[in-house]
Each structure stands twice: as structure tokens, then as C-alpha cells.
Amino acid sequence: MKLCKNDFEDYKSINVLEDETEWNINDVYQYADERRDGHYIYKYAGDNDTNTELSPSVIYERDKEIYPIWVQIAPTNYYAMLDARTDSQTTQANDIVMTFDIQNQDTFSLLNLKAVSVTLSLYDNSLGAISYTNNVVTQDESSVIDFYSYCFNEFVYTDSVYIDDIPLTQDGVLTVTIDGDSVGVGRLVIGKSIFIGDTDYGVSLGIESYSRRDIDTFGNVNLKQRGSVNIDTYSIKVPTSKVIELRSTAKKYDAIPLLFIGDESEDTIVENLLNFGYWTSFNMVLPNPVNSTLSLSIKGIL
């Protein structure tokens, strides 16, 4: 089990434009008009042919518990893979190419991914050369066992990528190319991972649904599909000598979004058991001076 906190709030560069119409204090708006302020889109809920002196983001943060005139509805396409939600995607009709200034980050992950392949290239400025490249093909060919299945089985693509062997550098530029005819990314994580311990078998994987299931007095069912999140519980073997350090780590990252990597092996058959969320329960039992057991419960973020 590893965990990783995302270190980036913005890109060094990306070929996705933030081209949504921006709010302007001199313009007047009609009800339901949409404008960009910062990295988010806001919808106008005021009177027709009016405006506000304050920006949409300021009004929304001030009045969101009552009745804001500007309502935040979504991140910009540019920012969707970096915002607080995993289900909002940065999309593009062709490849997405982005760069990041890297300093002591060794872990990279994409979640809610739609792509054919992902290529990483690290240019180390101190060496003046490319020190690392990696190409990950997302197509799963395990169901192709003969010519018939090749012709008639649907192509299956993994919706996540996890890489943990980026060489550490004090001054580098990481270039990421997401390839495909129509690509999308819901969550990007780049950071330095922390090893917690060895995950034992007996992992519990579940889902918490926020969908509505309304049944009236006549038995008619009205189903409304909404989001759902992963609910995972792990039993992890940890060195007893590290339990105090791990408890401090848990306090440090309490209520902070993290990428949890339940299975860090390269030949994983369960897509590394990735879950982006926060820990809800952290309990350790110390049966002997050598090894102890950590019970960790994680709740994903929409």
C-alpha cells in the first residue's frame, strides 16, 4: 500500500485552451447566461439586463449557502482534470500534451481516463538530456485468444494509469502525451508516494451510491442515476517500529485527498486497486515487536 498527494494545481503548459467566455464587469447578462471566472464556469441567476460589481467567484463563495446570483456549475475544460472532482473530464478531439516542472516527484497517475495510450518523457535539466521515457498502452487484449475473438470481441480499455518509477530529480520537465481520437481525463496525480506497508489478501472493495430510488404508494419506481464512489477496506502488514510514524502520517493527511495504491505491483491484475479519496478509519494492532496490522478504510471522491 502506498499513498500519494497531488503536488500540482496547474500545468506548465497544455494544448487545451481556456476559451470559454470570461465574465466582464462592463457587460450585462440575461438569466442563465454562463461565464468563466478563474478556472470555473458560473451561471447567472439574477435579473435580466443586469450585472454585479463583484466577480462570480466572490459572490458564489459569499452566498452559496443562501441564494447566489452567480452559481458555480463546472470547471473549465482546461482545469477539469485538476479540480476537486474525478467525474469531470478534460476532453479533446485529439491528443492532449502537457508539461510539468518536476522536483522530487516519482509517481504519476491518471483516473477516469479515455485514451489509447499515455507516453511520459522526463527531461533532466541538470543532465541536459532525457533521462526517462515510458509508454503505456491502455487496451486490454486478455479477451483475445483467437482470430474469432479478435474480430468480434469489443475492445476494452483500462480507465486508469499508474506509474511509480519516475527517477527523482531536482530540476526536470515532465511531458505527458495522452493519445487517442477522442481523449478524456478526470483526475491527474503527480507527487512523491509514501510506502505504508504490504497489503494482505482479504481486501474489501465496495461502492456507495448516491442514486435516487423513489417508490410511490402504488409501487411505481422512479430511478435517477447519480454518482457513486469506491469504499475500500484494507488489512496492511506494517513494521511495529513504524507505527508511531504512520500514525503521525495519518494525522498529517487527515481530510486531505490522496491517491491510494492498494496493489503496487507492475503485473497487477486489479489495476493497482487505485482509489482517489480520503481515509475514514485508521486503526493499528500491535501483536508483537516485529510486525503489526493496520486496518485502513478509504472513501473515494466523486
In Å, the largest CA–CA distance within the chain is: 73
- Under the banding of pLDDT at 50, 70 and 90, the label for residue 149 is low
pLDDT surpasses 70 at 69: yes
| Residue 101, pLDDT above cutoff 90 | yes
Model confidence over 203-232: pLDDT tens digits?
A: 999 999 999 999 988 999 999 998 899 999
Q: Rounded distance, CA 84 to CA 9, Å? A: 11
Q: What would the mean pLDDT of 158-186 be, rounded to a whole number? A: 95
- State the SS3 of the chain: CEEECCCCCCCCEECCCCCCCECCCCCCECCCCEEEECCEEEEECCCCCECCCCCHHHHHHHHCCCCCCEEEEEECCCCHHHCCCCCCCEEECCCEEEEEEECCCCEEEEEEEECCEEEEEEEECCCCEEEEEEEEECEECCCCCCHHHHHHCCCEECCEEEECCCCCCCCEEEEEEEECCCEEEEEEEEECCEECCEECCCCEEEEEECCEEEECCCCCEEEECCCEEEEEEEEEEEEHHHHHHHHHHHHHCCCCCEEEECCCCCCCCCHHHEEEEEEEEEEEECCCCCEEEEEEEEEECC
pLDDT at 237: 96
Average pLDDT of the chain to the nearest whole number? 93
The band of 156, judged by pLDDT with boundaries at 50, 70 and 90, is confident
CA nearest neighbour of 162 among 273, 45, 22, 65: 273
Tell me phi and psi for residue 189, to 5 degrees: -130, 125
Mean pLDDT of 250-256: 95
